[in-house]
Structures are given as C-alpha cells and as structure tokens.
C-alpha cells in the first residue's frame, strides 16, 4: 500500500471541490438580499444566503450531480442543476402571485328586497382595516 502524507490526501480532496458563486436578482435586474441558496447532492447539503448586493458563495462543493434551489418570500422558487464549472451564476427570481384576504365583519342593516341582515365589509391589508361602503 502506498503511504501518502495526510496533508497530500487533504490537498487532493480539496482540489476535487468547486466554489459556486453568483448573484440573485429579480426580473428588473435588482439584487435580492436574504435569499436562501440550498445546494444538494447525494452526499451533501450546503446552504448560503445572498447579501445586500444579491451575491453568494458556496465553497467545498463536490463535483457530483445535484441541484441548487433558491427561495425568497414573495418570489417563485428557482431550481437549477449544479454547473460543472466555477463560472459565476446569474439567478433570476420571478415575483410570485399576490393574494389578499377579505374579512367581512359586523352587521350594517336590512336588505330591502330580502329583509336579511347585511354584513358590513372591512377589507384588511396587513393590519389596517379599510371599511367598504
């Protein structure tokens, strides 16, 4: 058996990994800060976050097939394959669909045709109620 020094074995192992870096942006090319970048292979899961400029870097990526998934609230998740090179990635997230909740509260009076109680509607966006009339 060949006896190699431990430092040589460590150097060989380190040489077989990649650093994946790049930027996370929106469709208008503006940086997205605080996005979670998760790199997953069959043997490892590595996680990073984008900074204020949308930049991220993940070191120690083994040269194995896998995926990179990017998530940020308000945006659709993005999943791509791990690239074979260390070229910087430009990851573009699309704004997700916006939904609102309409909360109906209280009673305003009687409807003339049916003589039923008619509720007063309050439309809330966040914590601010806006009465509808």
pTM confidence score? 0.62
Tens digits of per-residue pLDDT, 91-129? Answer: 999 999 876 666 666 655 555 555 555 555 454 555 445
Domain with residue 66: its CATH number is: 2.60.40.1120
Nearest to 64, CA basis, from 81, 41, 47, 32: 41
Same domain? 39 vs 63 = yes
Q: In the predicted model, what is the mean pLDDT of the chain?
A: 77
Could you give the CA distance from residue 99 to residue 14 in angstroms, rounded to a whole number?
47
Same domain? 44 vs 76 = yes
The H-or-E segment that residue 14 falls in is helix 6-15
On whether residue 26 sits in a domain, the answer given is yes
Q: Domain range for residue 110?
A: 102-131
What are the b/e assignments for 16-42, b being 16+ CB within 10 Å? Answer: eebebbbbbbbeeeeebeebbbbbeee
Same domain? 86 vs 106 = no
The H-or-E segment that residue 6 falls in is helix 6-15
On whether residue 60 sits in a domain, the answer given is yes
On whether residue 106 sits in a domain, the answer given is yes
Domain count, the chain: 2
Instruction: Determine the pLDDT at residue 2.
Output: 47
The H-or-E segment that residue 121 falls in is strand 121-125
Instruction: Using the predicted structure, report yes or no on whether residue 8 has a pLDDT greater than 70.
Output: no
Same domain? 79 vs 110 = no
Distances (CA, A) of 60 to 14, 16, 22, 63, 133: 7, 9, 15, 9, 60
Same domain? 106 vs 124 = yes
Measured over the CA atoms of residue 74, residue 77, residue 82 and residue 83, the dihedral's sign is negative
């Amino acid at each position: 058996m060949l006896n190699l020094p431990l430092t040589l074995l460590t150097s060989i192992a380190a040489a077989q990994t990649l650093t994946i870096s790049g930027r996370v942006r929106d469709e208008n090319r503006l940086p997205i800060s605080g996005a979670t970048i998760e790199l997953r292979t069959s043997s490892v899961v590595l996680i990073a976050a984008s900074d204020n400029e949308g930049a991220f870097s993940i070191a120690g990526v083994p040269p194995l097939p896998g995926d990179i998934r990017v998530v940020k609230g308000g945006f659709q998740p993005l999943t791509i394959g791990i690239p074979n090179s260390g070229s910087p990635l430009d990851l573009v997230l699309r704004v997700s669909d916006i939904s609102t909740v309409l909360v109906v509260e209280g009673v305003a009076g009687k409807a003339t045709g049916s003589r039923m109680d008619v509720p007063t509607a309050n439309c809330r966006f966040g914590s601010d109620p806006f009465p509808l009339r």
